[in-house]
Structure 1
């Protein structure tokens, strides 16, 4: 047999796999071939949406399911035995795998990423592949696991037989948390971008510790009822009768599969606790409060819980005098795990000071790069009153007949202390224009306003701009805020992919965190966002991919300069496109935007001004009297500029057309038109070239159709 005539797959089947099996690896339980671990970055240009090539490891070896310890990168026999080692090391770093091998069927190159082997990289014969016991012993030594810790680390994941498996980064997060706790760490922080499955990750951590018998009573804390309810009936469903909610309100909840379930309650009508359960889920507002009678958590002994998991812990658990910290301090002997998309680090609040450095981080940028999160376009809109300011005429009166103080009012004042009615109407008009120009009047939209009163006015302005659609269903536009019960009752419908209404929702901060709005395609910012933490959370409302409804990206319209946060080094997930049309231009981004120089952010946000969540149910309002707003009619408002930008493959903002993007990407592969034609004509499999280009996000037929000319000639400006 001539090895050099064999394909890479033949080498895997005939030489590499037999060598692995001879070393004692179980082909059915420990060996996985062609492991795709990313989905391929979603690439957006105009109306064209494609995916880049997903990353694939040739072999991943597991000591037990979901405990990967070795990776093999294979090449055909025309390559050297170590040709795949660098690619293997890159994949292993992503997958957190310590032992890496490369093979061409003649033998192996072995690289020990732990640094414990001498030498670190060595050549091995085909019959010298290490056994599972050998590699696990090295792994144990590297991690410093004693027999007791090993028993916890080897506890099985939950598997219901449905075929659902955790994504690679969820495995990394679960294993990192379990190992830290097994080695005695009692404060653990996990940082995972919104939409990456923090709750499912928490479930697997809790399940393994619970089944291992190390954590027998567990408390899961959150600050949104919808989070608790959906967690109980979906991700935490396998806990069954061992689980209950710390609530007196009976409720029937619909599961993701459409079935319904009555929540089990741990409190009776007199708020007496049933201590027979093992897994408790609670809304922190329900078990504490400013008055002693509200501090229900004190009914539990301080050593009752072995483990406490705090969802969205950036919202207060690290503040020394917060309601969260009251609870955590009471149960200080318990192991505590904080989950957040955005750890808060300010002069007054520090997640890492309380929990320690994160044991695992999965960023928004990485999620977008892997294709698990949706990229987004940004439309920047500059209104003349925001940029130039507003100064009343001498003696000008407001709506109530009072003289307006003579000074220059700017974006920080609008809708907070002074209301320009024409500005509100213009904003609503531009939002409506975007929906019409996009061709989809029913894309789920969240409009973030300064406060509840502003959200009410914006709701009215949007109703007047969309009177025909509101006539079909009055829930087309709704306000959902902490003080609006009717609106809050519709929150479940808004986030339900199967529910058509509500469509346009105005809010101030209620929807900025913790709401799983899978089908949200448009986010509008009509207020400054001073906190980077909150800005990331707001962006996270739209980052979930929903393939059933073909939602692969979303748009963020910024009326207040809040997207200047993209320039902050702390921000890690820039948009694919930013659009800034001039006054008469359509607000929807064009499909083929010409390249221009970057514009500027006219009004930067004021740092720190949005730290307080003012309309969240259960939290007290900031001290002081309400600000009296000045209402001014008839002063006019117009659009000055708008701009659009894309996110390039390196996560940097660029203003680039589909034409330029195509040309740039193709020139990476082909130096000239002759080079392209020569390669095309000589290729035995033209499909191979097509697949190569599609890996760059360039499906030929759709691009040629959209740009309307021969693709190869387009690259090098040759007339058709």
Structure 2
């Protein structure tokens, strides 16, 4: 809201509060114009009480029910202090009225609001996004007990049919609810029954706590459908009816939320769109937005994502509880604000939490059940690793100049024949993205086929025919999946039904294919990219063939989880006839090194189709500015823009004087856009009216030339080199020339010779680039600047390492050090922390390879001991708590700035304002001191 000049801060806050109250359905009246019959909910300003005038008194159905204490925005951090004042008003007598204490109390600045229901056991304030509706208060007052009181009324859990880990999770979660903990995390291994556990405690919340409505939140349509099936078949122990006969379950497929729905299942993408009042594109729910190339523009038809705003059709009290499936990827960035919107308890479900997950759920982990524990309990099965390595997979190859190659468009798969003008050398990381070598795919598949009888020696039928176990192949892209399927069918000498693709982009119904894969003999092999990489239950799976790597450790663990499921022997035999016993394990066939690298105008534009992009860039760089050149370059960049990742676009912008790729394209198009030039002509003619025509013409020509120069000037050497480099990473060349061969097809090991080689290669890379990469130069030559090392520098170093030497992944190098007995601890899960630890070792800063976060912890202990030495402690307990938060931030982000205090976790503790209150003039000095001492 725009403030009026000279308007005081109190009035600004009240104007904001007035607006929010009206949006929530309240009528705002002054104390001199009260009409309690004007509506159901009335908010009266400055109403007189025995303790003085209250900022707002809330009436519902003519009865007083609540208080709002308004504060200036700069007092947001002091809302907790205002609780006593607002409570005094709530327990005071209102003029003219005879009433009891008012239960509903807010403290608000208009931008930050806290709410307390004083009918709760041990009433506790909580932040809310907005004010509640008057109808909600009326409904709550009709209830004998509040929700938080009812959460203390659970009956003893009937344990029949529940595993020990599920029992523990439900009991601890209900204790968390009784303690009024707003967030709780259930960490449960893939295959251990997270969704069944959720169905059980949701049933108990509805029956015993009389919850009004519960949201089960997912991030893909596939997971939503699977959750719906769990509710459809769930039957509680204390009732003969199914869950869906007792309670209404609605899986959202539009913006409509049924008023009688007691359980809603939705993707977080759909919920965001609902709150925005927008329609959702069909494809937006198909892919997990945090692990794919999905972008926000898919959500709202190309528009930029907007912050969540109050939506009266979907008020903050719409859900009492939100269950967040796969919460390790649904609680950040754009999605966090969806969760912050609702006044609801949040329960996270995941098999693979990380530090951010623990932080978001306030470290309230009510249950931890790891994969290793699930294997020991017989809930899941273990796995073995079989490695297939080929020459081209390991080292890439080179296609000599003058060879004829096919070039294929990824989307249409349309081919064109072309003779190479120069040698084309490609790295392993380019395979199946911009280079396709059918021999490499065929060699891997053939080696897999030949190894299967030795991996599963008991799978021959009475006639000596080998039965392929149910196998899931992970492909890099849809195009890669198509290549794999064709070769699998040929190498196994089978028909179409033997090997199928399961992605959202197939013509067949993907759910039907998945169901056949799960329950029928055919298909024996399925190829997927993302659709069933996580969260999908295919119990008969016995082989996972990795032909793609992934950057995220969490995602990789989720992918591995597809094979962990146990299955009854009879059920396994129905789909795998030669199975001689129940499923005891599954096999990961690693053909990519995934185990070791584990770890984000109508004008025709093309005017120069025969000229390579490199030459177009070179011509613009050297000053050429003709129309055909600009339009052709814009066209090539338009194509490229659709394929670039967000980090690649950011890198482009850094090299293009801060301009985005879309802006650069627009500038090229506008340089010869008749409408733009016409506007220039009209503007100049208007400004120079009455002057000589030649002067006007020269001025117009000068402005047009400036327009074209501005469009071209950003194409400097570094930018053109980067564009050409990244373009090569997104175009596919079909290599029919080089024939691949198997180097290794064996059970996985890591020899000491190999470990020495990896450690040496990594050290050589770091030494070679220490003068080129800023982060490395700081480690080597500028120890006094180590405090300036930041997260962006380390990310750039990691990106460069992955680009240059993708096999030198930090976790892989760390494992090499472990094989050489130079470090006992496992690699940190955060690969940035692992990378910094390794660089410090190579640079000689640390004598032993030590996880960087532990180095920071040790430095902190030494520093804090020094501060508190002697008779007087330098810091209080409350200050030390803040110092520990800062230490944790430096351990993960390598540096802290004052601005970081505005974000998690500091904002939850009062942000930079609270730190200033605690440290006052010492604040800046303490931050600089910690940056220096902890990174030493």
- Note closer, same or farther for the CA distance 1:507–1:610 as it changes in structure 2 (3 Å cut): farther
User: TM-score, normalising length from structure 1?
Assistant: 0.53
Give the number of the structure whose residues are more often helix, by fraction.
2
Kindly state the Cα deviation for residue 363 of structure 1 after the two structures are TM-superposed. 0.8
Question: Structure 1: how far apart are the matches of 2:395 and 2:592?
Answer: 13
More displaced 10-residue stretch of structure 1: 362-371 or 484-493: 484-493
- Note closer, same or farther for the CA distance 1:314–1:335 as it changes in structure 2 (3 Å cut): same
Report if aligned partners of 2:517, 2:526 keep a CA contact under 8 Å in 1: no
Residue 590 of structure 2: which of 558, 581, 601 is its match? 558
Residues 8-31 of structure 1, C-alpha deviations (whole Å, 9 max, x = no match): xxxxxxxxxxxxxxxxxxxxxxxx
1:354 — aligned with what? Answer: 360
Question: Structure 1: how far apart are the matches of 2:540 and 2:384?
Answer: 16
1:499 — aligned with what? Answer: 520
Question: Structure 2: how far apart are the matches of 1:150 and 1:308?
Answer: 19
2:418 aligns to what SS in structure 1?
coil
Question: Structure 1: how far apart are the matches of 2:485 and 2:445?
Answer: 9
Report if aligned partners of 2:388, 2:444 keep a CA contact under 8 Å in 1: no
1:327-338 correspondence to structure 2 within 5 Å: 327-331=338-342, 333-338=343-348
1:379 — aligned with what? Answer: 386
Report if aligned partners of 2:485, 2:527 keep a CA contact under 8 Å in 1: yes
Kindly state the Cα deviation for residue 396 of structure 1 after the two structures are TM-superposed. 3.0
Report if aligned partners of 1:411, 1:560 keep a CA contact under 8 Å in 2: no
Residues 653-698 of structure 1, C-alpha deviations (whole Å, 9 max, x = no match): 9xxxxxxxxxxxxxxxxxxxxxxxxxxxxxxxxxxxxxxxxxxxxx
Residues 1:411 and 2:428 are matched in the alignment: yes
1:484 — aligned with what? Answer: 506
2:497 — aligned with what? Answer: 475
Report if aligned partners of 1:377, 1:556 keep a CA contact under 8 Å in 2: yes
Report if aligned partners of 1:218, 1:279 keep a CA contact under 8 Å in 2: yes
Question: Structure 2: how far apart are the matches of 1:611 and 1:532?
Answer: 20
Residues 1:169 and 2:165 are matched in the alignment: yes
2:903 — aligned with what? Answer: none
Question: Structure 2: how far apart are the matches of 1:305 and 1:157?
Answer: 25
Figure out how many residues of one structure are paired with residues of the other and give that number.
Answer: 415
Question: Structure 2: how far apart are the matches of 1:231 and 1:370?
Answer: 23
1:547 — aligned with what? Answer: 568
2:876 — aligned with what? Answer: none
Residue 215 of structure 1: which of 211, 216, 233 is its match? 211
2:228 — aligned with what? Answer: 229
Residues 452-475 of structure 1, C-alpha deviations (whole Å, 9 max, x = no match): 1000110111111223x32xxx32
- Note closer, same or farther for the CA distance 1:305–1:149 as it changes in structure 2 (3 Å cut): closer
Q: What are the ranges of 5 or more consecutive residues in structure 1 without an aligned counterpart?
A: 1-146, 249-266, 569-608, 613-621, 648-652, 654-720
1:431 — aligned with what? Answer: 448
Question: Structure 1: how far apart are the matches of 2:479 and 2:748?
Answer: 32
Residues 504-531 of structure 1, C-alpha deviations (whole Å, 9 max, x = no match): 1111122110100111011000111221
Kindly state the Cα deviation for residue 208 of structure 1 after the two structures are TM-superposed. 2.4
Residue 279 of structure 1: which of 263, 280, 285 is its match? 263
Report if aligned partners of 1:189, 1:360 keep a CA contact under 8 Å in 2: yes
Report if aligned partners of 1:419, 1:632 keep a CA contact under 8 Å in 2: yes
1:244 — aligned with what? Answer: 249
Report if aligned partners of 2:399, 2:737 keep a CA contact under 8 Å in 1: no
Question: Structure 2: how far apart are the matches of 1:546 and 1:565?
Answer: 30
2:851 — aligned with what? Answer: none
Kindly state the Cα deviation for residue 177 of structure 1 after the two structures are TM-superposed. 1.4
Kindly state the Cα deviation for residue 164 of structure 1 after the two structures are TM-superposed. 4.1
Question: Structure 1: how far apart are the matches of 2:194 and 2:182?
Answer: 19
Kindly state the Cα deviation for residue 416 of structure 1 after the two structures are TM-superposed. 1.3
Kindly state the Cα deviation for residue 640 of structure 1 after the two structures are TM-superposed. 0.6
1:59-458 correspondence to structure 2 within 5 Å: 152=151, 155-156=154-155, 164-213=160-209, 215-222=211-218, 223=220, 224=222, 225-235=224-234, 237-247=242-252, 272-289=256-273, 292-294=277-279, 298=311, 299-315=313-329, 317-322=330-335, 325-331=336-342, 333-345=343-355, 350-357=356-363, 358-399=365-406, 400-403=417-420, 406=423, 408-437=425-454, 438=456, 439=459, 440-458=466-484
Query: Which of these two proteins has the greater Rg computed from alpha carbons?
Result: 2
Report if aligned partners of 1:494, 1:517 keep a CA contact under 8 Å in 2: no
Residues 621-676 of structure 1, C-alpha deviations (whole Å, 9 max, x = no match): x99999221111031001111331599xxxxx9xxxxxxxxxxxxxxxxxxxxxxx
Question: Structure 1: how far apart are the matches of 2:280 and 2:478?
Answer: 29
Q: What are the ranges of 5 or more consecutive residues in structure 2 without an aligned counterpart?
A: 1-145, 236-241, 282-309, 407-416, 460-465, 573-581, 600-643, 648-660, 663-725, 751-814, 816-936
Residue 640 of structure 1: which of 732, 739, 743 is its match? 743
1:359 aligns to what SS in structure 2?
strand
More displaced 10-residue stretch of structure 1: 302-311 or 290-299: 290-299
Kindly state the Cα deviation for residue 188 of structure 1 after the two structures are TM-superposed. 1.1
Report if aligned partners of 1:380, 1:559 keep a CA contact under 8 Å in 2: yes
Report if aligned partners of 1:153, 1:175 keep a CA contact under 8 Å in 2: no
2:429 aligns to what SS in structure 1?
coil
Residues 432-487 of structure 1, C-alpha deviations (whole Å, 9 max, x = no match): 324455335342111001111000110111111223x32xxx32111111322416
Report if aligned partners of 1:490, 1:502 keep a CA contact under 8 Å in 2: no
- Note closer, same or farther for the CA distance 1:148–1:210 as it changes in structure 2 (3 Å cut): closer
Question: Structure 1: how far apart are the matches of 2:516 and 2:168?
Answer: 32
- Note closer, same or farther for the CA distance 1:374–1:294 as it changes in structure 2 (3 Å cut): same
Kindly state the Cα deviation for residue 563 of structure 1 after the two structures are TM-superposed. 0.7
Kindly state the Cα deviation for residue 536 of structure 1 after the two structures are TM-superposed. 0.4
Report if aligned partners of 1:318, 1:354 keep a CA contact under 8 Å in 2: yes
Question: Structure 2: how far apart are the matches of 1:456 and 1:188?
Answer: 42
Report if aligned partners of 1:383, 1:638 keep a CA contact under 8 Å in 2: yes
1:518 aligns to what SS in structure 2?
coil
Kindly state the Cα deviation for residue 610 of structure 1 after the two structures are TM-superposed. 11
Report if aligned partners of 1:525, 1:559 keep a CA contact under 8 Å in 2: yes
Kindly state the Cα deviation for residue 405 of structure 1 after the two structures are TM-superposed. 5.6
Report if aligned partners of 1:493, 1:502 keep a CA contact under 8 Å in 2: no
Residues 1:628 and 2:613 are matched in the alignment: no
More displaced 10-residue stretch of structure 1: 436-445 or 477-486: 436-445
Question: Structure 1: how far apart are the matches of 2:488 and 2:645?
Answer: 25
- Note closer, same or farther for the CA distance 1:214–1:524 as it changes in structure 2 (3 Å cut): same
Residues 104-140 of structure 1, C-alpha deviations (whole Å, 9 max, x = no match): xxxxxxxxxxxxxxxxxxxxxxxxxxxxxxxxxxxxx
1:486 aligns to what SS in structure 2?
coil
Report if aligned partners of 1:306, 1:335 keep a CA contact under 8 Å in 2: yes
User: TM-score, normalising length from structure 2?
Assistant: 0.41
Residues 285-312 of structure 1, C-alpha deviations (whole Å, 9 max, x = no match): 4444497422799532211111010111
Question: Structure 2: how far apart are the matches of 1:280 and 1:272?
Answer: 11
2:428 aligns to what SS in structure 1?
coil
Kindly state the Cα deviation for residue 353 of structure 1 after the two structures are TM-superposed. 2.7
Kindly state the Cα deviation for residue 165 of structure 1 after the two structures are TM-superposed. 2.2
RMSD, matched Cα: 3.4
Report if aligned partners of 1:376, 1:556 keep a CA contact under 8 Å in 2: yes
Report if aligned partners of 1:342, 1:537 keep a CA contact under 8 Å in 2: yes
Report if aligned partners of 2:199, 2:234 keep a CA contact under 8 Å in 1: yes
Question: Structure 1: how far apart are the matches of 2:190 and 2:370?
Answer: 9
Report if aligned partners of 1:480, 1:487 keep a CA contact under 8 Å in 2: no
- Note closer, same or farther for the CA distance 1:628–1:164 as it changes in structure 2 (3 Å cut): same
Question: Structure 1: how far apart are the matches of 2:316 and 2:280?
Answer: 13
- Note closer, same or farther for the CA distance 1:442–1:326 as it changes in structure 2 (3 Å cut): farther
2:467 aligns to what SS in structure 1?
coil
Give the number of the structure whose residues are more often strand, by fraction.
1
Question: Structure 2: how far apart are the matches of 1:532 and 1:166?
Answer: 30
Report if aligned partners of 2:395, 2:428 keep a CA contact under 8 Å in 1: no
Report if aligned partners of 2:252, 2:264 keep a CA contact under 8 Å in 1: no
* Larger RCO of the pair (alpha carbons < 8 Å, separation 6+): 1
Residues 1:508 and 2:529 are matched in the alignment: yes
2:542 aligns to what SS in structure 1?
strand
